[in-house]
Amino acid sequence: MTIKGLDFTSPFFLAPLAGYTDTAFRRIAHEWGSAAEVTEMVSAEGLARGGEATEALLDRYPGEDRLIVQLFAPDEDPIARCLERLMRHEPAIIDLNCGCPVNKVVRTGAGSALMRTPEVMGRMVKLLVRETALPVSVKFRLGWDRESVNYLDFARIALDNGASMLTLHARTRSQMYSGKADWSAIARLKEATKDSGAAIFASGDILSAHDAVSVMQQTGCDGVMLARGAIGRPFIFKECAALMAGEVWEPSVQERKACLMRHLDYMIEHSGEAVACREMRKHAIGYVKGLAGASRVKAAVNAAMTRADYEEAVSLIG
């Protein structure tokens, strides 16, 4: 697959996930076959102001040659002010978040609030394309609510202003993450944009390799953003590749245990042992889900303060 001259080895990407897609998670997902990984949401305003915590979200893992940065902002002003600092990090693609439904983002006019102001989104895309010459991606939803579904018009405005890639989370903002994602809308988006040359990605209810392959078959989309389905399961990317080839592959228990510890080691390398052991807990629960002894492991992980504690917890897995 090619996005504005950039070639990718597979259609399966790690989606941006606030609080999750740090350097360690992106790195281990890439090792398991993710074609590309997107940063956590980066505040354009925070970046423009030189916030250290914000800029730290742009750190790369060793060997990360393509940094895909997701920005959020209510309008083009903070976007314009953050670009000089952003471009120092040499991103490969800039993704504009128009899909985050959480109140603290929406209240600022950013995220899925932009579904109500598509002309503002269009100006933001136009600015990014003009000032960076990079591929610009837009992630968005079906609309604000069922009474204002506007994703096709929203997509047209994004493309008219130069977007090279669109990701549709097939829910409205009012749905948040409840209900069922409407994959048929992704098929309609692909059909409506088939002559644009833009890559169309699917998002929403893609929790397994079967889901990932199914959404491609059902919608004709070009790629898939794996989000919640990859938490504690970075090997899902290898599962997807196998299924696309007509095969079935699952990690062994030993591979899952080793992957958990390697993920922790990457977090320690970047953030130090204390922070890493705390932050790893939310990932570790996914790694052990469904395994013998999972409940005991979860309890041990929730109390773990050191790498040695994690080793002891992992030893409880049957």
What is the CATH number for 220?
A: 3.20.20.70
User: How deeply is 247 buried, as exposed, middle or buried, from its count of CB atoms within 10 A (0-12, 13-18, 19+)?
Assistant: exposed
DSSP string of 119-141, one letter each residue: HHHHHHHHHHHHHH-S-EEEEEE
**Together in a domain, 211 and 258:** no
What does the pLDDT look like over 42-74, one tens digit per residue? Answer: 999 999 999 999 999 999 999 999 999 999 999
**Together in a domain, 126 and 151:** yes
What does the pLDDT look like over 92-105, one tens digit per residue? Answer: 999 999 999 999 99
Q: How far is CA 58 from the centre of its chain?
A: 14
Widest Cα–Cα separation across the chain: 55
**Together in a domain, 88 and 206:** yes
Question: Does 70 count as an annotated binding residue?
Answer: yes
Q: Give the separation between CA 243 and CA 271, rounded to whole angstroms.
A: 35
In the chain, which residues have pLDDT < 50?
none
Q: How far is CA 62 from the centre of its chain?
A: 19
Question: Does 284 count as an annotated binding residue?
Answer: no
CB 11 within 8 A of CB 226: no
Question: Does 30 count as an annotated binding residue?
Answer: no
Active site residues: 100
User: Which residue range(s) make up the domain with 52?
Assistant: 2-244
H helix count then E strand count, the chain: 15, 10
Task: Provide the domain count of the chain.
Answer: 2
User: How deeply is 296 buried, as exposed, middle or buried, from its count of CB atoms within 10 A (0-12, 13-18, 19+)?
Assistant: middle
**Together in a domain, 198 and 233:** yes
Give whole-number Cα distances, 161 to 47, 164, 197, in Å. Answer: 24, 10, 14
Tokens of 17: 């996930």
**Together in a domain, 87 and 236:** yes
Predicted pLDDT of residue 236: 99
What is the CATH number for 288?
A: 1.10.1200.80
Predicted pLDDT of residue 202: 99
Question: Does 139 count as an annotated binding residue?
Answer: yes
Predicted pLDDT of residue 318: 74
Q: Give the separation between CA 95 and CA 129, rounded to whole angstroms.
A: 11
**Together in a domain, 204 and 179:** yes
**Together in a domain, 219 and 262:** no
14 bridge partner residues:
37, 226
CB 240 within 8 A of CB 208: no
**Together in a domain, 98 and 198:** yes
Predicted pLDDT of residue 260: 98
Provide the CB-side half-sphere exposure for 110 (13 A, CA).
22
**Together in a domain, 286 and 233:** no
**Together in a domain, 90 and 232:** yes
Give whole-number Cα distances, 81 to 85, 174, 245, 303, in Å. Answer: 8, 31, 45, 43
Q: Give the separation between CA 31 and CA 266, rounded to whole angstroms.
A: 12
**Together in a domain, 204 and 57:** yes
Q: Taking the model in full, what pTM does it have? A: 0.96
Question: Does 130 count as an annotated binding residue?
Answer: no
136 bridge partner residues:
94
